[in-house]
Structure 1
Amino acid sequence: AWLVEQGASVQVYFTAGALTISATAVTLQPGAAGDLVKVRNVDSGKIISGTVMADGSIRVGAS
């Protein structure tokens, strides 16, 4: 079973040092924990790739 389904609304987190930015995105493909998936940022429409975390959120960029 997938942890996140295609078309699901998810929280995306980008962490750089002490700064963490979160955004809402829609998954463009399903994924399990640890998988790299593409998501579309709801506000900007940009498509980015991130890693599915155990809690169902998506982690992007440096950690």
Structure 2
Amino acid sequence: MYSSPSNWHRNWRPAVLQRLRNLAECVEGEYADLTRAQTAPEESQAQKPPRRVYGTKSVSER
């Protein structure tokens, strides 16, 4: 603990910001697929049609 709370607050805030940034980077790395699907809907749309086509093929074969 620092002698004065003001200095502790000043030194504590940037450290927390850095930790939050590191956590955000880790989350982005782990959940890159979700972020990509939200930012680029084209990829999600490109992935959906093959599933629909497969479903239509199964129905047509039946």
TM-score (norm 1): 0.16
Q: Which has the higher strand share?
A: 1
Q: Which has the higher helix share?
A: 2
Max Rg structure: 2
- Per chain length, whose mean CA-contact separation is higher, i.e. which structure has more relative contact order (CA < 8 Å, sep 6+)? 1
